Structure 1
Amino acid sequence: MLPFFFFLLLSFSISQALPPPRGFYLNCGSPSTTKLNDINYTSDRGFINVGNTTTIKQKDLLPILSTLRYFPDKSSRKHCYNFPVARNSKYLIRTTYYYGNFDGKNSPPVFDQIIGGTKWSVVNTSEDYSKGQSSYYEIVVGVPGRTLSVCLAKNANTLSSPFISALDVQSLEDTMYNSTDLGLYKLSLIARNSFGVDGEMISYPDDKYNRLWQPFSDKKHQSVTSQSSVNPSDFWNIPPAKAFVEGFTVTKGKALELKWPPFPLPATKYYIALYFQDDRSPSPLSWRAFGASINGATFSRKLNVSTNGVMVYSGQWPLSGQTTITLTTAKGSPMGAVINAGEVFQVIPIGGATNISDVTALEDLLESIDEPPVDWSGDPCLPLANSWTGVTCSKEKITKVISLNLTNRGLAGSLPPSISNMTALKDLWLGKNNLTGPIPDLSPMTRLETLHLEDNQFNGSIPESLAQLPNLRILSIKNNKLQGTIPSALLQRKGLTIQASPENMPSTNNTGPS
């Protein structure tokens, strides 16, 4: 699993009130709204319609940790929260978990979390829970459409029910983390720290985007306190001014070596942002110059840091194992190097995309039927191991639905005309349900090979357009309320087996067994 940071149960601080941040803040499993740091965490009802809720019977818990939603259904491939968002927007997602032994098993479950169609990470809260602590994960994502889904799913190591305590969906500005193409990648948080600090973490309202900046102290380095404030809007990532209040420094002429993050990292690409400010009172002499390298590779050749502060970043920086940041004072600099804060994210490639026509067709079908499978939420195809029940998809960059099998699922309702937009579909099996209405024009589905609509309540005539399906081998429409006989164009098709009720058969035909 990826490394992550934790927060203590009572570690949030409260300061002066500001306008609430933009986004969604859910107290999962709670029937009511609770306030934390001047942010209203509302009930998660309305964002998810599956799962059970429970209360953690433990004293001195933060309100958002005292309830949770869990998902005992073993047949579901994923359990999704859905949020209405602006098209082409950017969000920070934070999932928070506190096990609290809610299931009496004394062992937190291990499971996956998914954003859209991309597997984000494995959730394993065992170590934190053994210390009486909660766990959280963060990711920065771009959203091309109007819906954002956050899902939990079982994996091979899941022995009990996945759960979640709180969920934050925080809107971000366009400038933030903009060196990474969020149409191709997502940024999963590894570490976000303010240096030289051994106290409370920084969050809202100090950070108006409700990011969590954990304190990071190191007795090997000299700490300094800034004598002036930065303007957060001067930086693309809009860090909180409080993150610059303290920092690490060295005497002039020496190098500052910082092992951070303080744990080894898997070999891959990372987004790195480092923040610096001269700690003295503003004056023409309040500056210092130094270079920055990471694991021996030049990160920034010469930084000129004043009391206004500086941010340097890389959107695709290779890291592996223990990371060492080295700041080397430049010749002629009046002071040694200084560093105040840093962020590291793992760059995660987006796991493909599902054909938009297929998504629209399945969403229309979802609206047209009663009692659909409970996991029909989020991306219909992706990740492939977590596609909707009954949906099979192709393995390609833009994945398409190739099979839909909802046989004997107890469905009622009708088929929307847009179902024909799933043009890659080879098998459509909807038999043994209680579907009504006419059979729509399926002629655009030119790859369809098998069509099972038997044992339903379909009415109207048998569409002659079915004869325009060049690859159709099996057509089963028996035991419905269809009027009239099978069109002659269908009967004349070679290699087509038709299964129909006697009243729909002409007196002479070439059909297969009914």
Structure 2
Amino acid sequence: MMFRNKLFLFILFVTCFEDLLLAIDVQRRNLATENPGFLSIDCGVEDDYLDHATGIWFKSDKEFTSTGENHEILPEFQSDDDEYEKQFGKRYNTLRSFPEGRKNCYSLQLEAESAKNSSFRIRASFSYGNYDRKNQPPKFDLYVGVNYWTTVDSNAYGAFFRENRSSARYKDDIYDRIWYPYRLPNSVSVSTSSDIDGSNLYKVPAEVLRTAVRPSNGSSMTGSLSVASDYEYNVYFHFAELEVFEDKLREISITVNGGITQGPFTLEYLKPLSISFQKLLVVGNFTFTIASTNESGLPPILNALEIYQLKQIEHSATNQSDVDAIVSTKHTYNIDRDDWQGDPCLPKDTTWTGLSCRFDTTPRIISLNLSSSKLTGEISPSLALLQEIESIDLSYNELTGSVPEVLARLPKLKLLNLSGNKLKGPIPQSLQDKSDNGSLLLRYGRVRFSLLNSLGSFYTA
């Protein structure tokens, strides 16, 4: 891989969310797959495959989503550039589109114990490729769990990847971060072919650390990156001394946003050094200056830079007991509704049809209306897990069996409509008592049929 004479920049806008609903690459150290620590999904392909260009095993997205359609981008948008294929393989040639529904989700099942207190890195990639021949690149919102992540402009994403083909990634980077070349103004390149000490905390690839830039003249160099305003950022500067000097040391300091300084730091030959700035509030561009100290006999260098945008988790997912109850109900009755995926209550404008929620710190389901939904079988006992439910309407279905007594244990239930079904047996006394004392409005009427035996129609003449 030819990465000489380049400074590498890794930019990732990161949100630390617990629940994962949409992802293309999700990486976790103890996830056992063909690539340990990785789950890489290629949307729109029918079968799993090994991408020989990257060495990554890609899975079809069929088992992670239940909606959408597979498509290929048009041939004129499929690159025949060898360097592009080496980096990205074929995963931008196919896609899954979602022409139906306001919310479409990818669901990744993680073991509760192993996911607890774990960190995840999610990368989602998009390429429109005029698959529908409409020349209308879509623009849509992307959520992780119940929290807004970003708005995707697929036209902008395509332009970004076309302009950034020369880069370092897996297998050089064990986390498959993609490092893009970045040249600071008024700088010159420094590089080495020597081995870099591999013990660095942030696992920066040796191939990345083998290149650096220094000022073309003077004792400082300045960089600027355009980022979204009014967010906090974590920034990581990575260094490794690439040159040997018998009587000189490279001593530097770093100043960001015109005022926050760390240092001085002395660089050691071929030994990585990473300096971080945490929770920086950036307004406008992010700027930095790396300068040599008065005692330094050498100008400053910079090998690589990472910048992460921090987003607050504004919303909690729906109460897990409620989620378990409604998902069990969905499976019990084979409810096939396009919007019954993802979190039942959030985002607020995509709450599952037939549900109402109370949006406290943790959303709770307070109403369920499945009237005239062609339900069959017995009343699901899972409904008893909806401890904040106030109204249940199961009327005019094909429900059979008896009315379960556990429904009387729902402390806030005010309306239970079971009319128009084929239920048998008496109403449980506990429910009848609540109906009698006025704390529960109970509607319970069986379907009745009238049979007339016609013996003919006559009239007299």
Taking structure 1 as the reference length, the TM-score comes to: 0.71
Q: Give the match for residue 343 of structure 1.
A: 306
Q: Give the match for residue 80 of structure 1.
A: 106
**C-alpha distance in 2, partners of 1:288/1:333?**
5
Q: Give the match for residue 349 of structure 2.
A: 385
The answer to whether the 8 A contact 2:418-2:444 is kept is no
Does the alignment pair 1:20 with 2:35? yes
Question: What's the offset of the Cα at 1:205?
Answer: 0.6
C-alpha offsets along residues 48-69 of structure 1, whole Å, 9 cap, x if unaligned? Answer: 1211112223154442122211
Q: After superposition, where does 1:353-392 map in structure 2 within 5 Å?
A: 353-392=317-356
**C-alpha distance in 1, partners of 2:334/2:148?**
29
Match of 1:400 among 364, 374, 397: 364
Change (3 A) 1:224 1:54: same
**C-alpha distance in 1, partners of 2:132/2:120?**
32
In structure 2, the residue corresponding to 1:442 is in which secondary structure? helix
Q: After superposition, where does 1:115-514 map in structure 2 within 5 Å?
A: 115-129=144-158, 131=159, 200-226=166-192, 228-235=194-201, 237-250=202-215, 254-259=219-224, 261=225, 263-281=226-244, 287-306=249-268, 307-350=270-313, 351-440=315-404, 441-466=406-431, 487=432, 489-494=433-438, 496-501=440-445
**C-alpha distance in 1, partners of 2:64/2:298?**
53
The answer to whether the 8 A contact 1:54-1:68 is kept is yes
Q: After superposition, where does 1:3-14 map in structure 2 within 5 Å?
A: none
Question: What's the offset of the Cα at 1:383?
Answer: 2.5
Question: What's the offset of the Cα at 1:434?
Answer: 3.3
**C-alpha distance in 1, partners of 2:193/2:346?**
51
**C-alpha distance in 2, partners of 1:447/1:99?**
49
Q: Give the match for residue 97 of structure 2.
A: 70
Letter in 2 for 1:71: F
The answer to whether the 8 A contact 1:288-1:336 is kept is yes
**C-alpha distance in 1, partners of 2:61/2:36?**
18
Change (3 A) 1:104 1:418: same
Question: What's the offset of the Cα at 1:422?
Answer: 1.8
Identical amino acids, percent of aligned pairs: 26
Question: What's the offset of the Cα at 1:321?
Answer: 0.4
**C-alpha distance in 2, partners of 1:231/1:433?**
69
C-alpha offsets along residues 280-320 of structure 1, whole Å, 9 cap, x if unaligned? Answer: 14x77674222111111224232222231211223311111
More divergent stretch after superposition (41-50 vs 383-392): 383-392
In structure 1, the residue corresponding to 2:283 is in which secondary structure? strand
Q: Which runs of 5+ in 2 are unaligned?
A: 1-10, 14-33, 80-88, 449-461
The answer to whether the 8 A contact 1:278-1:287 is kept is no
C-alpha offsets along residues 394-443 of structure 1, whole Å, 9 cap, x if unaligned? Answer: 22222222222233333445444232222222222233333444433123
The answer to whether the 8 A contact 2:415-2:442 is kept is no
Greater share of helix: 2
The answer to whether the 8 A contact 1:271-1:346 is kept is yes
Question: What's the offset of the Cα at 1:133?
Answer: 5.0
Question: What's the offset of the Cα at 1:453?
Answer: 2.8
Bigger Rg, structure 1 or 2: 2
Moved over 6 A (4+): none
More divergent stretch after superposition (354-363 vs 454-463): 454-463
In structure 1, the residue corresponding to 2:106 is in which secondary structure? strand
In structure 2, the residue corresponding to 1:45 is in which secondary structure? helix
Q: After superposition, where does 1:23-62 map in structure 2 within 5 Å?
A: 23-36=38-51, 37-58=54-75, 60-61=78-79, 62=89
Change (3 A) 1:499 1:387: closer
Greater share of strand: 1
Q: Give the match for residue 29 of structure 2.
A: none
In structure 2, the residue corresponding to 1:234 is in which secondary structure? coil
**C-alpha distance in 2, partners of 1:94/1:101?**
22
In structure 1, the residue corresponding to 2:35 is in which secondary structure? coil
Change (3 A) 1:365 1:496: closer
Does the alignment pair 1:94 with 2:118? no
Please, what is the CA RMSD of the aligned residues? Answer: 2.9
**C-alpha distance in 2, partners of 1:491/1:324?**
68
Question: What's the offset of the Cα at 1:213?
Answer: 0.9
Q: Give the match for residue 145 of structure 1.
A: none
- The aligned length equals 400
**C-alpha distance in 2, partners of 1:29/1:239?**
32
Change (3 A) 1:291 1:366: same
